[in-house]
């Protein structure tokens, strides 16, 4: 039995029209009905949030956003604020995803402002961190994770930490089919928990959920979830099909 309630989260990235989303939920919700002891979170595109909330109301599935800007409103063309996410019905936001960092050039300072703003506005933030293959090969994994985490958490204090989770997603394992090894995952998660303890203290580190992301599938999720410091999964490709994501949600049965 896990000490912390696991989170099984789907990051749909730039996938699914509203019609495709409706189809997904009509198959997925019956598959996870009655599943307990975990949180199920799905992050559709911004334009899908309201409809996803409507489709999942009364179920245990919670809806998340994939990103946000830290300001409440203003002249920021193309951006979405925490107030908008809340009013659309989502309670969680993914921040600092590697695609935000590497495709859209987001840096640690910007991400730290987003994390603080999310928490201040009552959103649960999933802060994503992870090294590239080059960084791993050069022995810089600890340094990179330490920096992304340290900066990402730098504006939080006290109770703020209750409002966040961390997702360790090695960039080289995202969408590649190449999952990090069990040893690599446990080592990184252990490092993340120790680093959180340094920044926020032991009690925070003990309760914070650390998710793994990177080619999680129904066939490997059980083994990953059994690791002591893994408290959930953040899933891209394998979350797009109802049966596949339901298999991940019900990870013990695999």
Residues involved in catalysis: 97, 169
Give 115-184 as a DSSP string: HHHHHHTTPEEEEEE---HHHHHTT-HHHHHHHHHHHHHTT--GGGGGGEEEEE--GGGTTSS-PPPHHH
Q: Residue count at the site for ligand 13P (CB under 6 A)?
A: 14
Residue 97 interacts with ligand 13P (CB under 6 A): yes or no = yes
Q: How far is the CB of 158 from ligand 13P (least distance, A)?
A: 28
Of 48, 237, 242, 247, the one binding ligand 13P (CB under 6 A) is: 237
Cα distances (Å, whole numbers) of residue 105 to 46, 109, 110, 150: 20, 12, 10, 19
Cα distances (Å, whole numbers) of residue 151 to 72, 143, 228: 22, 12, 25
Instruction: Report residue 236 as tokens.
Output: 């891209």
Of 230, 235, 246, 249, the one binding ligand 13P (CB under 6 A) is: 235
Instruction: Report residue 61 as tokens.
Output: 């599935």
Residue 236 interacts with ligand 13P (CB under 6 A): yes or no = yes
> Could you tell me which stretch among 76-84, 190-198, 222-230, 236-244 binds ligand 13P (CB under 6 A)?
236-244
Phi, psi of 219, deg, nearest 5: -75, -20
Q: How far is the CB of 175 from ligand 13P (least distance, A)?
A: 4
3-class DSSP state for residue 99?
helix
Pick between residue 214 and residue 247 the one whose CB is nearest to ligand 13P: 214
Residue 93 interacts with ligand 13P (CB under 6 A): yes or no = no
Please give the residues from 213 up to 232 whose contact with ligand 13P meets the rule CB under 6 A: 213-216
Residues of the shown chain interacting with ligand 13P in the complex, contacts defined by CB under 6 A: 11, 97, 169, 174-175, 213-216, 234-238
């Amino acid at each position: 039995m896990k000490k912390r309630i696991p989170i099984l989260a789907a990051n749909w990235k730039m996938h699914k029209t509203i019609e495709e989303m409706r189809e997904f939920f009509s198959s997925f919700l019956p598959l996870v009905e009655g599943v307990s002891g975990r949180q199920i979170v799905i992050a559709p595109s911004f334009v899908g949030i309201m409809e996803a909330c409507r489709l999942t109301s009364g179920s245990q599935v919670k809806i998340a956003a994939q990103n946000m800007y830290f300001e409440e409103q203003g002249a920021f063309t193309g951006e979405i604020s925490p107030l908008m996410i809340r009013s659309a019905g989502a309670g969680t936001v993914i921040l600092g995803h590697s695609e935000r960092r590497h495709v859209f050039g987001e840096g640690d300072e910007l991400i730290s402002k987003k994390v603080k703003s999310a928490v201040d506005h009552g959103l649960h933030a999933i802060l994503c961190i992870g090294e590239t293959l080059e960084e791993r090969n050069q022995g810089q994994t600890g340094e990179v994770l330490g920096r992304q985490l340290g900066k990402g958490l730098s504006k939080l204090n006290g109770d703020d930490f209750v409002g966040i989770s961390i997702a360790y997603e090695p960039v080289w394992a995202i969408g590649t089919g190449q999952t990090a090894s069990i040893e690599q995952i446990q080592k990184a998660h252990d490092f993340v928990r120790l680093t959180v303890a340094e920044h926020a203290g032991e009690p925070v580190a003990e309760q914070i959920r650390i998710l793994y992301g990177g080619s999680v599938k129904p066939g490997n999720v059980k083994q990953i979830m059994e690791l002591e410091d893994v408290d959930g999964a953040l899933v891209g490709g394998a979350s797009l099909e109802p049966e596949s994501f339901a298999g991940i949600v019900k990870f013990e049965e695999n």
